[in-house]
A and B are shown apart, each in its own frame.
Chain A
Amino acid sequence: MDVVSNVVYPVAGLLGLYAFVSLASLVWEGIDRKLVARMQRRIGPPILQPVYDFLKLASKETIIPNTASYMFKAAPVLALATVIALLVYTPMGFTPILASKGDVIVFIYLLTLISFFKILGAISSGNPYAKIGAAREATIMVSREPAMMLAIFTIMWRIGKLGVDKPFSMGTFYQHNIWEIGTPMSFVGAVILLYVFAVWLASEIEVGFFNIPDAEEEIAEGLLVEYSGRYLALLKLTHSMKAFISASLVVAIFFPWGISGYFGLTGISANVGDLLFHTLKVFILLFVVQSVFRAVTGRLKITQAVDFLWKNVFLASLVGSLLIAMEVIM
């Protein structure tokens, strides 16, 4: 029984989540392309286009540059493995499969590790364009994470004050949420942090302002310049799943309400219902943060993006965190 509850169930849940999230994120990618096309008075590709793209890339010849080292082949696999490992810590409408005390550190670490593997693969290709892209990815990565970390630690600490059994776990959002504190100051702080998280999400999935490392028009695909075939398919899948996971985090922090309680579902069916409702919320959030943002903004320069993330977003994160912490401190 111990083996079943500690090994078999988590693995089965992870496999099911992996299948669902990979499909849902690819479908969202298709919906996003369709929506942006309609915003520009175009018809756009079919909804399942990213799935076709994935299958096509997976069936094409993979070309390895002569200058590439072994990390070039390993990086996409490791990036996808990291995303799959991240799924067990991601709140998706229910408490994560392996939620434990303090696993927010693991979550942030794995989320950053994906970018790190992308950078490793790019600089292992030996292409100067990829190296420029990798440098920009690293710059934007270290600029965007502090604001998010400060905000998420503040929120978790504040929720922990309300009394949870596993403090600093990704499951705490489903026991108490940030709107429950109920004072005007915390409400304003939460709204400011919502802005911070929206910008962080846009920079995490690199759309709109922050489409800098890949920069198709400026540095010839940047990071992905040497990738082709199966490895490119893996990286594309990784990217769309990462978008889903990052959006899941924001949805879990700010809009954690489920629907299974209203329909009186229990057990597995409750989880499935909550997962579907959570997917809907993720799609709505990504519509605002990804589709609309991508349609109305151009790319920033890397210096402008770093300035923006430090002087605007990080400051907002500081202010919002202080507002939320204020009642407890005083």
Chain B
Amino acid sequence: MKAPILVPVVLRNLFKRPATNRFPQMEPVPIPEDFRGMISYNVDKCVGCRMCVNVCPAGVFVYLPEIRKVALWTARCIYCGQCVDVCPTGALQLSRDFLLASYDNKSDRFIPLEPEKVEEIKRKLEEQKKVKEAAKKEKEGKNV
């Protein structure tokens, strides 16, 4: 019979302050130092080594061979941090962002590398190729 023991406890609790965090009005509970939040992806650092594709258990990454980068869809992420540990260049980092509710799981916040950006990178690569080829041709022309 716990009831008689509990009566003074609940009556004392009546006059104490509630031990809760009123989230929308207050800051959320502070997160620890090594908190694993949303993945942030730095496209410029990525060298396309495909380590993250191999190690990811949730299938977040898709390798894009023509530009040698990865496309991400972080709505699938399980926040295990293995891609961050394995990335040799530090292109993948875990941010401290955890308020990720959204009406649309295809929204931009879950796709760090947008298709438009992929196209842009492709165009840049093409231009670089063209420049290289023109230089080659010039060389060949000079040689001839």
Residues of A within 8 A of B (CB): 35, 37-44, 292, 295-297
Contacts and interface: CB of A to CB of B under 8 A. Distances in A.
B14 A297 contact: no
Contact of B20 (A43, A292, A296): A43
A295 B10 contact: yes
Q: Which 8 A-B pairs have the closest CB atoms?
A: A39-B10, A296-B6, A41-B19, A43-B18, A295-B10, A296-B3, A39-B13, A297-B3
Contacts of A42: 18, 20
16 contacts: A35-B14, A38-B14, A39-B14, A40-B10, A41-B16, A41-B19, A42-B18, A42-B20, A43-B18, A43-B20, A44-B18, A292-B7, A292-B10, A295-B6, A296-B3, A296-B10
B7 A41 contact: no
- Which of B10, B13, B20 has the largest count of A CB atoms less than 10 A from its CB? B10
Contacts of B2: 296
A43 B18 CA distance: 6
Contacts, number: 33
Contacts of B13: 38-41
B139 interface: no
Contacts of B14: 35, 38-39
B22 interface: yes
Interface of B: 2-3, 6-7, 10-11, 13-14, 16, 18-20, 22
Nearest to A208: B3
Contacts of A43: 18, 20, 22
A35 B11 CA distance: 10
B4 to A, nearest CB: 8
Nearest to B6: A296
Contacts of A40: 10, 13
A107 to B, nearest CB: 31
A295 B5 CA distance: 12
Contact of A296 (B7, B16, B18): B7
A141 B73 CA distance: 58
A48 B90 CA distance: 54
Given A38-B13, A38-B18, 5 more contacts: A39-B11, A41-B18, A43-B20, A292-B7, A292-B10
Contacts of A37: 18
A292 B9 CA distance: 11
Contacts of B6: 295-296
A256 to B, nearest CB: 27
A40 B14 CA distance: 8
Contacts of A35: 14
Nearest to B4: A296
Contacts of A38: 13-14, 18
A41 B20 contact: yes
Nearest to B19: A41
Contacts of B19: 41
A43 B10 CA distance: 14
- Which of A37, A42, A43, A296 has the largest count of B CB atoms less than 10 A from its CB? A296
Contacts of B16: 41
Contacts of B7: 292, 296
Contacts of B20: 41-43
Contacts of A295: 6, 10
A38 B14 CA distance: 5
B29 to A, nearest CB: 15
B10 to A, nearest CB: 4
Contacts of B3: 296-297
Contacts of B22: 43
A289 to B, nearest CB: 13
A41 B22 CA distance: 13
A37 B14 CA distance: 9
Contacts of B18: 37-38, 41-44
A296 B2 CA distance: 8
A41 B18 CA distance: 4
Nearest to A295: B10
A196 B13 CA distance: 28
Contacts of A44: 18
A37 B17 CA distance: 11
A295 B10 CA distance: 7
A24 B19 CA distance: 29
